[in-house]
């Protein structure tokens, strides 16, 4: 059974974004090399998994090379794969369209670069596989390439390759738009797509269509594990698809639940818990975290009053090799319909305020209680119930505690 590895959107030597905010120069340097390291991991994956064929569905490069080094790095890697007996088929996407890349290097023997003028079908007879695909001659390919793809070749494992935004995926329909039906109608055993950086299965069953997503996250909006798909296929399918991580650094957006947080301390505790979980998921990879605090929370006013503290608290969580990108704050106080509880809470607040204005009354009330020695809170803490400010703060605290217990 042929084993195929599907990768896309390598964006080799892509300048990663937002590194200036990280306050950690060595981490920033490490992240700059991330796309190359992730590509190394892809090559190693092919060898470790004893893959028969590597298929790359476009956007190998991030645009025109700044120097030949980018191309050299890519070609050298493919040569290593060919030396290990792995076949390679690839096509160019909008970022590496023939018109955009002004420099070229000769590909190693046996690496098949699919035509950009029409859908090409390349047979790998030893594997019983045929790959169908068309690359981008120019960056803006706005016509539907998929509708010209040939129907399946019986007796082969048919693998389609296309760089496309597919119609109906928000914000992405521009490049080589097509429908999912255009793709499944070819009845290939597997369709390997590139361009959308988030991994996803568009169709399953006997005509599976997948985006592998990109190989390495490049900025705070490309979050979570990134890598390639390992696909085992027999003629007539169904394919067995599994994800393999290739990324060497990870971006995560963490959104702790704040509904139950009564104050800033609770929020910081919730952030710390989310951060710990994310660290565990990232393994020993550098981790860049963006916190997004949103929704309704009783702590809203306190959070908004001091956003700098949140960023500082987040940064103080950081372990070596990880960093905080930023803290996005979009919270509001809970909106509750008038209920008995909220009526009662309002009365408690009112009473607390009134008492706080009137320390003598408080002292009167406490007069009786003082007989029980309540001024001695704990063995080590004595409070001066004769001081007005102590009485005021006690009354206010009691009011808040009471309201917290009412859930207001
Ligand atoms: Mn693309």
Mean pLDDT of the 351-364 span: 80
pLDDT of 263 higher than 90: yes
Q: How high is the pLDDT of residue 168? A: 65
- Lowest average pLDDT, out of 145-159, 238-252, 289-303, 378-392, goes to 378-392
Q: How far is the CA of 383 from the centre of ligand 1 (A)?
A: 67
In angstroms, the Cα distances linking 355 to 21, 362, 363, 374 are 48, 6, 10, 19
Q: How far is the CA of 230 from the centre of ligand 1 (A)?
A: 21
Give yes or no for a contact between 269 and 276, defined as CB atoms under 8 angstroms apart.
no
Q: How far is the CA of 143 from the centre of ligand 1 (A)?
A: 15
Q: How far apart are CA 323 and CA 91, in angstroms?
A: 35
pTM of the model: 0.78
Please tell me which residue, 101 or 78, carries the higher pLDDT value.
Answer: 78
Could you tell me the domains of the chain? Answer: 3-245 (3.60.21.10), 250-332 (no CATH), 340-406 (no CATH)
pLDDT band at 320 (very low <50, low <70, confident <90, very high): confident
Element (H, E) at 100: none
Strand partners, 245: 227
Q: How far is the CA of 174 from the centre of ligand 1 (A)?
A: 10
Q: How far is the CA of 177 from the centre of ligand 1 (A)?
A: 12
pLDDT band at 393 (very low <50, low <70, confident <90, very high): confident
Q: How far is the CA of 166 from the centre of ligand 1 (A)?
A: 12
- Reported in sequence order, the residue ranges of 125-279 that DSSP labels E, i.e. its strands, are 129-133, 157-163, 190-194, 200-203, 209-211, 227-232, 240-245, 250-254
- Alpha carbons within 13 A on the beta-carbon side of 159: 32
Structure tokens at 288: 């860049």
Q: How far is the CA of 97 from the centre of ligand 1 (A)?
A: 10
Torsion of CA 377, 381, 386, 387, to 10 degrees: -120
Q: How high is the pLDDT of residue 211? A: 97
Q: In this structure, which residues have their CB less than 5 angstroms from ion ligand 1?
A: 59, 93-94, 195
CA nearest to 216, candidates 224, 208, 205: 224
Q: How far is the CA of 91 from the centre of ligand 1 (A)?
A: 11
Q: How far is the CA of 176 from the centre of ligand 1 (A)?
A: 10
Side by side, the strands of the sheet bearing 200-203 are 120-124, 129-133, 157-163, 190-194, 209-211, 200-203
pLDDT of 36 higher than 90: yes
Q: How far is the CA of 93 from the centre of ligand 1 (A)?
A: 5
Q: How far apart are CA 47 and CA 213, in angstroms?
A: 21
Q: How high is the pLDDT of residue 358? A: 81
Q: How far is the CA of 62 from the centre of ligand 1 (A)?
A: 9
In angstroms, the Cα distances linking 253 to 161, 241, 287, 293 are 31, 26, 10, 10
- Lowest average pLDDT, out of 214-228, 264-278, 360-374, goes to 360-374
Q: How far is the CA of 60 from the centre of ligand 1 (A)?
A: 9
Q: How far is the CA of 95 from the centre of ligand 1 (A)?
A: 6
pLDDT tens track for 206-246: 999 999 999 999 988 899 999 999 999 988 779 999 999 99
Mean pLDDT (the chain) is 88
Q: How far is the CA of 39 from the centre of ligand 1 (A)?
A: 17
CA nearest to 212, candidates 150, 271, 163, 283: 163
Q: How far apart are CA 237 and CA 58, in angstroms?
A: 24
pLDDT band at 188 (very low <50, low <70, confident <90, very high): very high
CA nearest to 166, candidates 136, 189, 144: 144
Q: How far is the CA of 264 from the centre of ligand 1 (A)?
A: 42
Report the percentage of the chain scoring pLDDT > 70: 89
Give yes or no for a contact between 203 and 241, defined as CB atoms under 8 angstroms apart.
no
Q: How far apart are CA 190 and CA 211, in angstroms?
A: 11
pLDDT band at 378 (very low <50, low <70, confident <90, very high): very low
């Amino acid at each position: 059974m042929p084993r195929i590895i599907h990768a896309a959107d390598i964006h080799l030597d892509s300048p990663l974004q937002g590194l200036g905010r990280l306050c950690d120069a060595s981490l920033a340097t490490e992240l700059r090399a991330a796309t190359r390291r992730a590509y190394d991991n892809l090559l190693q994956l092919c060898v470790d998994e004893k893959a028969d064929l590597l298929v790359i569905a476009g956007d190998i490069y991030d645009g025109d090379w700044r120097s030949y080094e980018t191309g050299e790095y890519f070609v050298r890697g493919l040569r290593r794969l060919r030396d290990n007996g792995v076949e390679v088929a690839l096509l160019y996407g909008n970022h590496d369209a023939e018109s955009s890349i002004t420099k070229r290097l000769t590909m190693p023997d046996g690496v098949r670069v699919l035509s950009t003028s029409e859908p090409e079908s390349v047979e790998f007879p030893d594997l019983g596989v045929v790959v169908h695909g068309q690359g981008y001659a120019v960056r803006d390919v706005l016509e539907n390439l998929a509708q010209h793809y040939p129907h399946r070749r019986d007796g082969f494992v048919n693998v389609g390759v296309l760089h496309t935004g597919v119609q109906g995926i928000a914000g992405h329909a521009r490049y080589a738009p097509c429908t999912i039906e255009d793709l499944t109608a070819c009845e290939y055993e597997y369709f390997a797509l590139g361009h959308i950086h988030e991994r996803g299965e568009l169709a399953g069953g006997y005509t599976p269509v997948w985006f592998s997503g990109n190989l390495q996250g490049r900025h705070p909006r490309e979050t979570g594990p990134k890598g390639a798909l390992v696909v085992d296929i027999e003629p007539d399918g169904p394919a067995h698809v599994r994800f393999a991580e290739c990324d060497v650094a990870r971006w995560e957006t963490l959104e702790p639940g704040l509904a139950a947080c009564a104050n800033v301390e609770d929020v910081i505790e919730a952030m710390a818990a989310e951060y710990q979980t994310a660290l565990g998921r990232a393994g020993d990879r550098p981790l860049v975290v963006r916190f997004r605090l949103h929704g309704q929370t009783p702590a809203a006013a306190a959070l908004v009053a001091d956003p700098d503290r949140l960023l500082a608290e987040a940064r103080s969580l950081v372990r070596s090799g990880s960093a905080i990108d930023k803290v996005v704050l979009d919270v509001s106080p809970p909106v509750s319909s008038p209920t008995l509880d909220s009526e009662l809470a309002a009365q408690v607040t009112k009473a607390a305020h009134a008492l706080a204005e009137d320390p003598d009354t408080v002292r009167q009330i406490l007069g009786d209680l003082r007989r029980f020695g309540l001024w001695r809170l704990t063995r080590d803490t004595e409070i001066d119930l004769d001081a007005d400010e102590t009485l005021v703060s006690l009354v206010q605290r009691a009011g808040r505690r009471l309201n917290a217990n009412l859930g207001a």
